[in-house]
């Protein structure tokens, strides 16, 4: 989804892309933790992927742009997803 050419990205109300970024990275963090990924490498890896994906969007000939705010929202989503799962696990003990 992050590397879909601009022509394949549906139009949506302003800000929708930020919601998609947030939810996508929250889901990545949650599913990775459920699969057994360790926090010590998971969060830095997702942060690196957020930055790299934005740089690639700007560099590849797909008509997309590199937005620093998207990377920030990606990282926030990963942190919130990780935190939600952690709180959920702690409350179920």
For the entire predicted model, the pTM comes to 0.90
pLDDT in tens, 12-48: 898 899 999 999 999 999 999 999 999 999 999 999 9
Contact 65, 58 (CB under 8 A): yes
Q: What pLDDT score was predicted for residue 30?
A: 96
């Amino acid at each position: 989804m992050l590397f879909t050419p601009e022509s394949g990205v549906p139009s949506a109300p302003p800000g929708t892309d930020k919601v998609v970024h947030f939810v996508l990275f929250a889901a990545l963090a949650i599913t990775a933790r459920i699969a057994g990924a360790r926090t010590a490498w998971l969060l830095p890896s997702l942060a690196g992927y957020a930055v790299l994906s934005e740089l690639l969007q700007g560099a590849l000939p797909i008509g997309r742009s590199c937005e620093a705010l998207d990377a920030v929202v990606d990282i926030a989503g990963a942190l919130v997803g990780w935190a939600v799962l952690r709180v959920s696990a702690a409350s179920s003990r």
